[in-house]
Amino acid sequence: MEEIVLGIGITALAGAFATVAGAAEDTESDIGSQGDPNSQVQLAPQMGYIHRIFNKAISGEPPAYGAWCAIGAGVAWALMQVNFNPALAIILGSVIAVFVQGVYCTSGYLGRTASLAKFQQPVYIDIIKSLLSVTMAHAFVAIFCTVAMCHLMATALHHPFALPLLGLVWGIALGAAGSATGNPFYGKERQYQNQKFGAGVPISASGNIVRYAEAGQRSSLDNGWFTTKFAGPASGICFGLIVFLELWRTVLFEKMVAGWGAIIVGVILILIFTFIDRWIEVWGRKTYGPYTAAEEASS
Amino acid sequence: MSALGGAAAGGEGINPTGTLVGIVILLVSIAATYALGFSIIPLIGIIIGGAFVGFGVHFVPVGGAPAAMGQAPGIATGVAMLAAGAGLAGLFGGAWAFEATGDFAIAVAGGAVGGGLMMSITCMMVNATYVFAMGIPAASGKVAKDPITGDTFPEYKSQGTEGHGLPFISFFGGVIGGIVTGLGGTLIYLALLGIYETGLPVIMQAEPAAIQPLAISLAGIFAIGFFLVNAVLAAYNITGTIEGPHDPKFKRVPRAIIGCAVASAFCGFISMLIVLNTGM
């Protein structure tokens, strides 16, 4: 019984770490413009819209975070092997991973922006100076929380994978959850704030991203401020739910029904989320209604 | 005709020459495995697991960059990336279940449910973002009516777009994709674990219990590698975006299964060479 209570406590803590990691990951990727919406940041100068948005996408978020979390977890694991305190080892591992992220961001911005020279897009050094530290700070929170969560899984919940391997697995899952949930909000609601609310961006408007703020030109810091209102917390909830429920069903139900308990609970959870998703879809259709009459649309 | 003046390539068809070459590679890999004294059962498990991953990736609704602007339906990220996220979450669950129970069926089912759970939560949050934050209802661009719910889409598609969000058929495809890729990834892991658990103690001349953590880590690393090989191959077959099982691109799936089986056979053979006892 004591083991189960401890397991539930660890599960809750890991879920909380995952929630913070998801929120920080999405905000970092929106400030740095790393996910799929970055296609528009890259496209805009080619359509004649010069901007001051950070532009650092080299790979997608999942492999990038897989690499950074694996580096953080790997260094932390190595330090723990030589008897470093786990908290200190995780912090040092995350710091080293964040330096790798900083190098990646700098080369990403310089390389991507320099490739747009023929379209008169300047390389703004002040953008690197002002935004690099902000993305690194958010990446530190995301990497630290993910590595700490993996450490809990490895030591307290006795998952068979070694810490670096857990860092890679959950880093990729973190990037996948964050980019899936957060990208549309940054891509549509923020980059195309000049388009009508409640409709997709017409393909003809591609590249015409919003470049001006209330005063002066829009900075990527403004994008971080905006996306933390929904995309960041939503990504956090998404990743937090994934981690929490995956651990919860295993810790509590694994030994029931001859080992099939966790699987049965997993299937029930999938059905519950399917029901919620369908409810959201129907609610959206009823609340917003069709854009055109059915006959007109089909004609 | 292609841009270079040659015959048009791609599409849904299966290239007979390419398939023949692939099957030869697959058979040579199996024969070489047998000739070196390994059991071919784990390799068959790896091949089936790889084919499952390639098959499952085609179910995952991925809209890529256009989905991030509400210009196309699907999840706004890359095909291989999302499938890897789901499949690896499944692999995590499957490996854990096998550690706790030692039961093959429970581990494989655990991997499948882990992948499905990850995708169901992600797909639900995608729709929550579209509906509650962006005010955009789901609409498919490939079919006029949802094959499961019967919802009609043309009137819910905003002007100048190919659709947006995740209609129920795409959500269903995402969950099935997560289940199948999670199952495939766990199958590959268990096959590799069996090879390393018996092979490593022999070549390292150590107690099996002492080698166990190394065997688990090696099997995990190789399983992730196999997973990415198959997911990327399937992504190349999809070329860009796919809405789910109702998308016409889904018809290309036999080609991906053949490709992934061949790649898995060859990579599986290479992964076995680590524990080849050369007597040195």
On whether residue A294 sits in a domain, the answer given is no
Confidence at A238, pLDDT banded by 50, 70, 90: very high
Closest CA in chain A for residue B67: A184
On whether residue A209 sits in a domain, the answer given is no
A9-55 tens-digit pLDDT: 999 999 999 999 999 999 999 999 988 888 999 999 999 999 999 98
On whether any CB of chain B is under 8 Å from the CB of A78, the answer is no
Q: Look up residue A75 and give its two tokens.
A: 């260094």
pTM (two decimals): 0.93
Contact A160 B64 (CB under 8 A): no
Nearest CB partner across the interface for B158, out of A165, A200, A230: A200
Closest by CA to A119, choosing from A50, A52, A56, is A50
**Burial class, A28, CB count within 10 angstroms (exposed 0-12 / middle 13-18 / buried 19+):** buried
- Cβ neighbors of A89 (< 8 A, separation 6 or more) are A75, A76, A77, A79, A80
Contact B85 A188 (CB under 8 A): no
Residue ranges covered by each domain of chain B: 41-264
Q: Look up residue A167 and give its two tokens.
A: 């860092």
Model confidence at A277: pLDDT above 50: yes
Closest CA in chain B for residue A231: B129
CA distance A255 to A3: 13
User: Could you tell me how many CB contacts below 8 A there are between chain A and chain B?
Assistant: 308
B187-201 tens-digit pLDDT: 999 999 999 999 899
- pLDDT in the model for residue A214: 86
**A196 and A264 inside one domain:** no
A222-231 tens-digit pLDDT: 999 999 999 9
Range among A249-258, B130-139, B271-280 with highest mean pLDDT value: B130-139
Closest by CA to A184, choosing from B168, B130, B138, B158, is B130
Counting runs of H as helices and runs of E as strands, what totals does chain A give? 10, 0
**A221 and A281 inside one domain:** no
Q: Which residue segment(s) compose the domain that A282 sits in?
A: 256-288
**A160 and A52 inside one domain:** yes
Nearest CB partner across the interface for B131, out of A40, A250, A284: A284
Structural domain total, chain A: 2
On whether any CB of chain A is under 8 Å from the CB of B148, the answer is no
Closest CA in chain A for residue B64: A36
**A245 and A267 inside one domain:** no
Confidence at B12, pLDDT banded by 50, 70, 90: low
**A84 and A140 inside one domain:** yes
Query: In chain A, what residues touch B169 (CB-CB under 8 Å)?
Result: none
CA distance B175 to B123: 8
Nearest CB partner across the interface for B65, out of A39, A173, A291: A39
- Mean pLDDT in residue range B146-167: 92
**Rounded to an integer, what is the distance from CA B234 to the centroid of its chain?**
7
Confidence at B59, pLDDT banded by 50, 70, 90: very high
Model confidence at B2: pLDDT above 50: no
- pLDDT in the model for residue A298: 54
**A24 and A150 inside one domain:** yes
- pLDDT in the model for residue B42: 92
**A181 and A92 inside one domain:** yes
B93-133 tens-digit pLDDT: 889 899 888 899 999 999 999 999 999 999 999 999 999 99
Q: Phi and psi dihedrals of A194, rounded to 5? A: -80, -5
**A268 and A170 inside one domain:** no
**A22 and A156 inside one domain:** yes
Question: Per this entry, what is the length of chain A?
Answer: 299
Nearest CB partner across the interface for B110, out of A61, A192, A263: A263
Find residues 225-244 of chain B whose CB sits inside 8 Å of chain A. none
Beta bridge partners of B164: B139
Q: A142-156, B40-54, B60-74: which range is least confident on average?
A: B60-74
Q: Look up residue A135 and give its two tokens.
A: 């993305």
Query: In chain A, what residues touch B149 (CB-CB under 8 Å)?
Result: 278
**A196 and A163 inside one domain:** yes
A85-144 tens-digit pLDDT: 999 999 999 999 999 999 999 999 999 999 999 999 999 999 999 999 999 999 999 999
Confidence at B37, pLDDT banded by 50, 70, 90: confident
For testing contact with chain B, the best of A203, A242, A256, A292 (most B CBs within 10 A): A242
Q: What residue type is B213 in one-letter code?
A: P
What number of other Cβ atoms are within 10 A of residue A84's Cβ? Answer: 16
Beta bridge partners of A217: A212
Closest CA in chain A for residue B160: A202
Contact B129 A185 (CB under 8 A): yes
User: How close, in Å, is residue B17 to chain A by CA atoms?
Assistant: 34
**A44 and A101 inside one domain:** yes
For testing contact with chain A, the best of B60, B79, B91, B92 (most A CBs within 10 A): B92
- Mean pLDDT in residue range A73-92: 96
Listing DSSP states for A249-293 in one string gives HHHHHTTSGGGTHHHHHHHHHHHHHHHHHHHHHHHHHHHH--SS-
| ipTM score assigned to the predicted complex | 0.94
**A196 and A283 inside one domain:** no
- Integer-rounded Cα radius of gyration of chain A: 22
Closest CA in chain B for residue A286: B137
On whether any CB of chain A is under 8 Å from the CB of B92, the answer is yes
On whether residue A20 sits in a domain, the answer given is yes
Nearest CB partner across the interface for A161, out of B101, B137, B220: B220
For residues A186 and A218, the answer to whether their CB atoms sit within 8 Å is no
Kindly report the average pLDDT of chain B as a whole number: 89
- Mean pLDDT in residue range A45-69: 91
On whether residue A178 sits in a domain, the answer given is yes
Containing A95, the helix (H) or strand (E) segment is helix A86-114
- pLDDT in the model for residue B15: 85
Closest by CA to A183, choosing from B171, B233, B56, B81, is B81
- Cβ neighbors of A292 (< 8 A, separation 6 or more) are B154, B155
A258-272 tens-digit pLDDT: 889 999 999 999 999
Query: In chain A, what residues touch B113 (CB-CB under 8 Å)?
Result: 262-263, 266-267, 270
Q: Look up residue B169 and give its two tokens.
A: 């058929």
Nearest CB partner across the interface for B69, out of A181, A192, A262: A192
On whether residue A274 sits in a domain, the answer given is yes
CA distance B280 to B268: 23
For residues A186 and A231, the answer to whether their CB atoms sit within 8 Å is yes
